[in-house]
Structure 1
């Protein structure tokens, strides 16, 4: 898997998003992690330009990150890149203390707010839900739960019919909710989700049974694409898949050294191997840090059975072959 030297040149390993026809770059740029409070407009523009020129064509944001959406929209407008040459995703759920959720009202109003900040006519993918956590139907009785899911599916179908988004996906929903939402879409001839915004490892049956591709992030730098600046080398990692205690860099440093890469690059490469993953999000405050993370693609061929076994032993998780 190799990134194209130019974003407007297609490359053979650009995967489809799940079983949809939408092609996305295997690495995406998380706007929340890139356009943090401490980054200037000029530096943000340099990071985005470096990503695009390196073949990153997926830019992910959320309505809860209004400043990030505004910065991304401003840069995209100033660059004048062909709209068909990049993919923008956003998430709706958090709009304010009294303005949140997945009602038809908030889906429409939240997405319109995002489009205004992004200065776009449409987003390529809109995700429904917060970052992974309790499902928004948790605690509801079965009938009300299904009604809420039907309202969500109808609202998402409506925004696609209106041309506000081209595809939709789930974020933070329990696997049972996602499966039921897909069934509701098929039952009422509505638009079904094509992807999930998920923590690693994504739920495998969602890919195997209904073809949902996953946009996710490295478990070794879990919040680099979501919150603030990426974790610098030498700092303890916040968490890792399958572990209750923070994972220390030193636990993976020996393997990374033998492979000739950083721990961050090792985590990104491992993430790309997870079943159903279409794109892994990265975040960086400078072009140098971004290019360093993109070098994770060069690590993939080195993740043979022995290296994977050693990595999985430390993480306490088994990655699909």
Structure 2
């Protein structure tokens, strides 16, 4: 629990916090978590928590005892109800000119229509990142950091295309969609209220996705060189890619092809830290005599597409886990899988895996 606050901090209530006065008391929080303060002095103090004043400045403006005011603010901060610092949205330089007047646009975004649009689109994303542990700047720095992540999606299914659009719209602007087959074309099955339209049928899957990605991306495409890479495999994994990800220590997430009325999401693999794909394969092979043969039959059988509702559901789950990993370096799918049952989506079956002694990925 925090017991102090920096003198330079400019506290502001986080997005979504409700201030409810009744009688001489004031409730601050949300539906199932909050705190109640006694005294009429609380309301003007809380009203002054706009992010524009320090506690000292609020004290001088309202005249309330500084220790009383500070203790109230510290208590709210200990509940993670406050943002106390400010960060700015950062974009790569989009103006290159020898003219000093034009160069001023690099630091002055007041008349930049694109920047204003980004500010509007970013607000819903901040309602997630502001509540991450230890975030005190409204979550802006985490949204900025998403631009530094290089995400490559391997697959040409509904889930792959929907996930591609979600990540771009969430600020992961260096997301690319790569198909595992040679120059596939968009077909009727790819139309699922995702990013493709009927007029796209017959166009190159990768080329059209790249073009539409520029429209969907929260930030301008082609940010500065990314420092972090993540791979997402949708469908049967390519052994060469698996070896590449493991040797380069690239975190990677698996989304399997559908099987009857279910689909497996995960595991999320961090090479050398969590069980790998081969660990899960060896474990299942030990448990089920026919498992290996069943998987072989699945690979040579015609691919079945995912129902539209399931595709959106699974892509949403996968996107949340990927964003969580980018933001916090953690995911509930690390070393785990989720089996999504089409007929009972709320009854997902979670399974955890351990390192398999015959694998060697952790030696």
TM-score by length of 2: 0.26
Whichever structure has more strand as a proportion of its residues is: 2
Higher relative CO (CA 8 A, sep ≥ 6), structure 1 or 2? 1
Bigger Rg, which one: 2
TM-score by length of 1: 0.28
